[in-house]
Amino acid sequence: NAGVTQTPKFQVLKTGQSMTLQCAQDMNHEYMSWYRQDPGMGLRLIHYSVGAGITDQGEVPNGYNVSRSTTEDFPLRLLSAAPSQTSVYFCASSYLDTQYFGPGTRLTVL
């Protein structure tokens, strides 16, 4: 089992560019989520999904889109990157009350 994988590990964007952060899990978990981590802020929930075809907003969804076409994949899309989206992004999948986090994507928007 690879667990939760995220790509890329690092990314630099210019303001206004778009990109997709990839997340995949091989544990057949129904629940997946995206968080962003900023210094001194802990992790904040962006979007989550309780199963294929079902997504919902978290605490800080603005500027991000998600879709869940398969159980395994949960990509996060930035349509027009802004400097305020500079952060470390973590994807997680969970079984019951245990969330398993990926290694993170460090994104810088110039």
Smallest separation (angstroms) from another protein to the CB of 15 = 26
User: What 3-state DSSP class applies to 29?
Assistant: coil
Smallest separation (angstroms) from another protein to the CB of 95 = 10
Look up residue 84 and give its DSSP letter: G
Cα–Cα distance measured from residue 54 to residue 38, given in angstroms and rounded to the nearest whole number: 27
- Nearer CB in complex with another protein: 79/95: 95
Is residue 78 within 8 A of residue 64, CB to CB? The reply is yes
Among 19, 27, 58, 72, binds another protein (CB under 8 A): 58
Among 20, 31, 67, 75, binds another protein (CB under 8 A): 31
Looking at the DSSP assignment, which residues form a beta bridge with residue 104?
A: none
**What mask, x for binding another protein by CB under 8 A, covers residues 61 to 90?**
-----------------------------x
Sheet harboring 64-66: ordered strands across? 4-7, 19-25, 76-78, 64-66
Residues at the site binding another protein, with contacts judged by CB under 8 A = 4, 31, 33, 35, 40-45, 48, 50, 58-59, 90, 92, 94, 97-104
